[in-house]
Amino acid sequence: METIYKERFEQKKDELHDLYMQLYGNDAMFAELCEHLYAFYKERSEKLKTLDKKREADPNWYKKNDMLGMMFYIDNFAGNMKGVQGKLDYLEKNNVNYIHLMPFLDTPKGRSDGGYAVADFRKVQENLGSMEDLENLTNACHEKGISVCMDFVMNHTSEDHEWAKKARQGDGEYMSRYFFFDNAVIPSEYEKTVPQVFPTTAPGNFTWLPEIGHYVMTTFYPYQWDLNYKNPRVFNEMMYNFLYLANKGIDIIRIDAVPYIWKELHTTCRNLPQVHTIVRMMRLIGELVCPGILLLGEVVMEPEKVVPYFGTVEKPECHMLYNVTTMATTWHTVATRDVSLLKKQLDIVNRLPKDYVFLNYLRCHDDIGWGLDFATLQQEGIQERAHKQYLNDYFRGYAGYSNSRGVLYNEDPVTGDARFCGTTASMCGIEKASYQHDKEALEKAIRMDVMLHAYMFMQSGIPVLYSGDEIGQLNDYAYRDDPDKAPDSRYVHRGAMNWEEAAKSSDQSTIPGQISSKLNQLEKLRKSEKAFMSNADTWTVETWDKSILCIGRYYDGDKIYGLFNFSEFDKTAWINERDGLYCDLLTGTLMEAAGVNIPAYGYMWLKKVR
C-alpha cells in the first residue's frame, strides 16, 4: 500500500468503520468497501493525485476571492462535451473558473427529469459524448485552472437502471435495493407523514407496478425509484460510482436531494440523522481516495436549517451548500422594493461561522419556489397565500408595476401555490422593453440586472452565474413546441445558448455588450480586492430607506461597502460612515460614505482609502 494512502487510511479508518457499523453492522461489507477504496486510489491518474496534494496543502483553495462559477446544460451551451472544450476561452474571458455541467449521465428519453433519472452512472448520454470525452474535458479545464462540478443523483435511479430492470423481474436481491411492498398497508402509513414533492404532476410517494403486483417508493417521479440505503450493497455500489466519476477528473460532486436519502416509517423521510452519517462517510471516503474534490450539498431549506449539512469543525460533511432562501428572498425584494426581509436573511447567514461556504446565485436550472420567512412577513400583515399569488402575478407582469416576464410551474389549483420560471434578464424587464422598443425602460432593466449581480458578488460565499445571464439571455418559449418538454415550463429558462448574441459582448451599443462589460468590471474588481475573500467579515448596515440594501465587508485591514437600490426611483442611502474617505471602485470618485445618492436600480462599491 502506498505510504500516502496508508497514512490517510490509518487516520480515518476507525471513524469510517464506526459509522459504517452504526448503519450496517456488517464487517464483511466494510472490508469489501476498503478494498475498493484502495483500488480506486491506485486507478487515480498521477495528474489528479498531484492536484490532490496541491489542494491538501491549501485546504482553503476554494474560499478565495477569485472563485466564480457558471452552470449550464452541455447540449444547450455547446452541443456536446467536445463543444464545451472548444468554449473554454469564452469561459476564461468571462472570468469563470468553476463550471457546473448539468446532468449528463445516461437517462431515458422522455423520462429523464432533466437528467436526474440516471439509467447508468458510468455512461454519458450518447448525444453529449463519452467518458473519454469527459476525461479530455476535465483535463483541459484543469490546464486552465477551471474546476468541474457534476450532479451525483444518490436518492434514486431511473426505472431503466440495470438494478431496477432486475427488480421488476422479481429478483429479490435487486428488489431489496429499493422499497417494494406487495400491498398498500405500509405505503399508506408512509403517506401519512411524508410530504409530496410534486403534488400536481406526480402525486403521492409510491407507484403501483401491476406487472409484478408491488408498490415501489417514488418520491419524485414514478420513473425514479428511491434507493434503499439500509442495504449496505446500495451504499457500497453508489460509493464506487462516486469514486469512478471523481477519477474522471470531477472536482466538485453535487449531491442531489441529499436530505431525502434515508427513509424511516412514521417520519417525513427528510433530514434524518442517518443522512448525516452517510454524508460524513462520503467526506471521509473522498479525503481518503481523492482529497482534492469538494462535496456540494443540494439542501433546499432556509440557512439555519441547512447548517447541519456542513457538519462540525471536528467532523465536517459538505464543503459547500446552496443559499436557496436568500435567492428567493432577493426576488421577493425586487417585487416589493423592500429590503427588510432580505436584510434579516443576510444577517442570519453572516452570523454563521466564516468557514461555512455558500453558493450564491440569482437563477439556476430550476424554478423559484417561494420558500420565504412567512412568519416574519406575517408580523407585517403579509399573508402567505396572498403574497405568493402577488409574487407570481408580479413576475408574469400582471401586478405591482412589473416589467417582468415568465411562466408558472407546478401550479396547484387547490392551494393556489405555484413556483416561477424565467431568466434573470426577462425577470428584470429586458424582454418586455426590447419587444416594446422602449429605450428608457430597457436602460432601467439592464441597470437592475447588473445591480442584482453586483449585490450577488457582494454576498458571503461563491457567486455562480447561470449560462446566458452574462449576456442577458431572454426566456425561450420554443419548448412549448417540443412534446417532451412542453409539460415542463422550466424549459423556458433552459434555452440554447445564443452564440450570435454572445458575439456582440464587445459591442457597447448592444444589450449583451452592456451587461457583459459591466459584469466583467465587477468580476475583475472582486478578484483584485481581498475584502471579497469568502471568509471575510460580512454584515448589513441600516440605510433608513426600505429600498436600499447596504452590505459591508472587511478583511485584513480592507473595508468595502456595497449599496444597492431595489427601486425604480433615485434614492439616498442614509448611512453615516464618517471614518475617512471612500473610493467608488466603479468610477474612481472619492467621497464620504454618508448620505449617498443612488440612482434607480443603481449600485455602488465603496472602499475605504484613508
Active site residue 481: no
d(CA 150, CA 609): 41
Active site residue 570: no
From the centroid of its chain, how far is CA 532? 20
The percent of the chain in helix, strand and coil, each rounded to the nearest 5, is 45, 20, 40
Picking from 597, 599, 608, the residue whose alpha carbon sits closest to that of residue 561 is: 608
Single out the catalytic residue among 298, 476, 488, 523.
298
Single out the catalytic residue among 52, 113, 256, 302.
256
- For residue 366, which phi and psi values (nearest 5 degrees)? -95, 170
The secondary structure element, H or E, covering residue 136 is helix 131-143
Identify whether the C-beta of residue 269 lies closer than 8 Å to the C-beta of residue 292.
no
Angle at 376 between CA 459 and CA 307, to 5 degrees: 50
Picking from 460, 455, 458, 463, the residue whose alpha carbon sits closest to that of residue 535 is: 460
d(CA 571, CA 3): 63
d(CA 387, CA 378): 10
**DSSP secondary structure string for all residues of 182-215:** SSSHHHHHHHHHSPPSBTTTB-SSEEEETTTTEE
3-class DSSP state of 224:
strand
With helix as H, strand as E and coil as C, how does 78-92 read? HCCHHHHHCCHHHHH
Number of Cβ within a 10 Å radius of residue 88: 18
Task: At 523, list the grid cell.
Answer: 468580476
d(CA 587, CA 526): 15
Q: Which residues are known catalytic residues?
A: 256, 298
